[in-house]
């Protein structure tokens, strides 16, 4: 069924009488809600978009695809991005659309050169989530670096931070009963994004977890590394945060280390390898493999970030391990280990 399905003429609908037209439209709306929200069969429920609430920016869900009984993909038309992108949702077994209660929610952010399917494709996050009454939201982030782009001081699209922290959040809360008890986890650039969002939107998350994230963005050599990486992803590296040092105020505003005091009151977990050697489950690659070399830099960066927190007296939990490549085998181990703490922080109970 297309979103703008053709309707019959007024005479065919109600014989020309407006009261019956209103009754039918109200009944159809209720039927759409019941059919699309309560269905258990796998398939696409585009009709559901008629009943959904928009975000304050006008962002709206235009398509809903039910992948399984508790896994849903939604397409979001985002004014902040100037395009439509997808978000994957895991719903708990006790979830229902008509409930008067809300559910705690975990946002899982993916790394660069990946997409919203990353967490379900590379981990057992579905099984981890199924043990708790928690909603898990995995939004698209592309290679947007989890920022509202500076665009040489002009602003404008893409606004990935606004998409994640306003549009996706409001759409989940207004249409999927996501509550105000929130946590976030991310790998690589998604880890930096989780910590940046927690600092820039103080109180939004009860707990944030970083898996091999660059948490001190302005440390020596790190701006050049970020610029090189984003250029390799086909982006204009100067458009994201601005030109290093020239636009330092904007860089600083996104830098978790520079904003560390604002992380006080949020539970923090961060992890990374340090040796540049393969860990358990890692592929057998050459010593000069980029996944090994990059983790050396990230490990040193995480140690520096830890020193910043120590100096400020901001509490944290860190897992600075030795061997481990910048890849999913290490991130899966760390994510699985911190999962119970993330659930406890948002009062997600076991089912």
Q: Would residue 135 count as lying in a domain?
A: yes
Query: In terms of pLDDT, which residue wins out, 38 or 164?
Result: 164
Contact 329, 247 (CB under 8 A): no
Total tally of structural domains belonging to the chain: 2
- C-alpha gyration radius of the chain: 22
Q: Would residue 351 count as lying in a domain?
A: no
Q: How far is CA 120 from CA 40, 78, 108, in A?
A: 20, 23, 10
Handedness of CA 85, 259, 332, 113 (dihedral sign): positive
Residues 13 and 86 reside in one and the same domain: no
Per-residue pLDDT band at 114 (split at 50, 70, 90): very high
Over 50: is that where the pLDDT of 214 sits? Answer: yes
Task: Identify the H or E element spanning 186.
Answer: strand 178-187
pLDDT at 24 (0 to 100): 33
Q: Would residue 285 count as lying in a domain?
A: yes
Find the mean pLDDT for residues 2-25.
37
Q: Would residue 28 count as lying in a domain?
A: yes
Residues 38 and 135 reside in one and the same domain: no
Q: Would residue 119 count as lying in a domain?
A: yes
Residues 67 and 19 reside in one and the same domain: no
The DSSP string of 129-155 is HHTBS-EEEEE--TT-TTSB--GGGT-
Which tokens is 210 given?
A: 């970083």
Structural domain harbouring 8 = 1-43
Q: Would residue 328 count as lying in a domain?
A: yes
pLDDT at 20 (0 to 100): 37
pLDDT at 182 (0 to 100): 99
Find the mean pLDDT for residues 202-229.
97
- Ranking 16-25, 94-103, 195-204, 223-232 by mean pLDDT, the lowest is 16-25
Query: To 10 degrees, what angle do helices 290-312 and 222-232 make?
Result: 140
Residues 15 and 157 reside in one and the same domain: no
Q: 246: domain CATH number?
A: 3.40.50.1820
Residues 127 and 17 reside in one and the same domain: no
Residues 257 and 320 reside in one and the same domain: yes
Find the mean pLDDT for residues 89-104.
95
Q: What is the pLDDT of residues 297-350, one digit of tens each?
A: 999 999 999 999 999 999 999 999 999 999 999 999 999 999 999 999 999 999
Residues 158 and 287 reside in one and the same domain: yes
Task: Identify the H or E element spanning 308.
Answer: helix 290-312
Q: Would residue 180 count as lying in a domain?
A: yes
Residues 156 and 224 reside in one and the same domain: yes
Residues 148 and 84 reside in one and the same domain: yes
Backbone torsions φ then ψ of 155, nearest 5 degrees: 65, -150
Query: In terms of pLDDT, which residue wins out, 317 or 46?
Result: 317
Residues 36 and 63 reside in one and the same domain: no
Instruction: Read off the DSSP letter of residue 330.
Output: H
Q: Would residue 350 count as lying in a domain?
A: no
Residue 75 neighbours by CB under 8 Å, 6+ apart: 61, 62, 63, 64, 65, 84, 85, 86
Contact 293, 275 (CB under 8 A): no
Share of the chain above pLDDT 90, in %: 85
Residues 296 and 337 reside in one and the same domain: yes
Residues 30 and 61 reside in one and the same domain: no
Q: What is the pLDDT of residues 284-309, one digit of tens each?
A: 999 999 999 999 999 999 999 999 99
């Amino acid at each position: 069924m297309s979103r703008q399905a053709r309707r019959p003429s007024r005479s065919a609908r109600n014989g020309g009488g407006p009261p019956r037209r209103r009754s039918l439209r109200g009944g159809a709306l209720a039927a759409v809600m019941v059919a699309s929200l309560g269905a258990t069969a796998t398939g696409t429920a585009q009709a559901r978009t008629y009943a959904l609430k928009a975000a304050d920016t006008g962002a709206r869900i235009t398509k809903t695809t039910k992948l399984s009984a508790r896994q849903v993909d939604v397409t979001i038309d985002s004014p902040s991005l100037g395009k439509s992108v997808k978000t994957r949702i895991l719903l708990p077994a006790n979830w229902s659309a008509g409930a008067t209660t809300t559910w705690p929610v975990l946002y899982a952010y993916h790394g660069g050169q990946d997409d919203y399917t990353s967490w379900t494709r590379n981990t057992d996050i579905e099984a981890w989530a199924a043990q708790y009454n928690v909603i898990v939201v995995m939004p698209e982030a592309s290679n947007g670096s989890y920022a509202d782009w500076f665009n040489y001081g002009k602003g404008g699209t893409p606004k990935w931070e606004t998409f994640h922290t306003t549009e996706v959040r409001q759409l989940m809360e207004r249409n999927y009963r996501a509550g105000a008890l929130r946590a976030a986890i991310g790998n690589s650039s998604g880890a930096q994004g989780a910590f940046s969002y927690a600092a820039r939107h103080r109180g939004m998350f009860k707990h944030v977890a970083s898996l091999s994230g660059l948490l001190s963005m302005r440390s020596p050599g790190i701006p050049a590394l970020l610029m090189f990486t984003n250029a390799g992803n086909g982006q204009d590296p100067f458009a994201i945060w601005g030109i290093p040092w020239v636009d330092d105020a904007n860089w600083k505003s996104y830098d978790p280390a520079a904003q560390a005091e604002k992380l006080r009151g949020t539970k923090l977990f961060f992890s990374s390898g340090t040796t540049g050697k393969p860990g358990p489950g890692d592929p057998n690659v050459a010593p000069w493999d980029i996944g090994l070399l990059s983790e050396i830099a990230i490990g040193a960066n995480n140690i520096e970030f830890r020193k910043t927190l120590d100096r400020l007296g901001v509490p944290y939990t860190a897992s600075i391990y030795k061997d481990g490549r910048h890849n999913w085998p290490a991130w899966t181990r760390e994510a699985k280990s911190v999962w119970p703490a993330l659930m406890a922080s948002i009062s997600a109970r076991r089912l």
